[in-house]
Amino acid sequence: MEEVKRLKRELIAKGAIIDYYQDTMQIPNGHIAKWDLIDHKGAAAVVAVREDGKLIMVRQYRNALERETIEIPAGGLNGRQEPTEQAAIRELREETGYIAKEIQFLTSIYTTVAFCNEKIDIYLATGLKRQESQDLDEDEYVNVEYYDLEELLTMIREARIQDSKTICGILLYAQNFYKK
């Protein structure tokens, strides 16, 4: 494959959780193209499974979709150098009040490879104990809900769950860890 070459990167806007760049690229046929890039510091997510087999989910309003979603607990890193396992543990505690005895790496995903470098590491959390109430950020409003795996798989099939990290995490759990 021929080489694609970046000629210039220009910061268009700096945001609270992302930065927007426009790259000037030379593509292999010699043409010059403008490509957008959303730069994200990364995130971590958790498939949290209680002793009774129910998965801990969070329901929250998502501005980009203008509606509520049901998702696995997740959140951005507190800087690019923060270990994602640490962020996953923190987000589980903050969003749900649960602490995990065991946490295991499942996979990494890139959410939108065409224009965004957001990488989310997904973990499995077990041995859960409710330690405290939620510790949400000022701009967060999150409801904690509990579902059987079969309920969540149905919601995925019926497109009632459309969040990529949630779908990926639940399907990996179902395929590799769930025992009926």
Q: What is the 3-state secondary structure (H, E, C) of 50-91?
A: CCCCCEEEEEEEECCCCEEEEECCEEECCCCCCCHHHHHHHH
Closest CA to 137 of 15, 16, 14: 16
Angle separating helix axes 164-176 and 149-157, nearest 10 degrees: 130
Other C-beta atoms closer than 10 Å to the C-beta of 162 total: 13
Closest CA to 112 of 159, 62, 164: 164
User: Annotated active-site positions, please?
Assistant: 138
Q: Could you identify the residue written with the tokens 């990364």?
A: 42
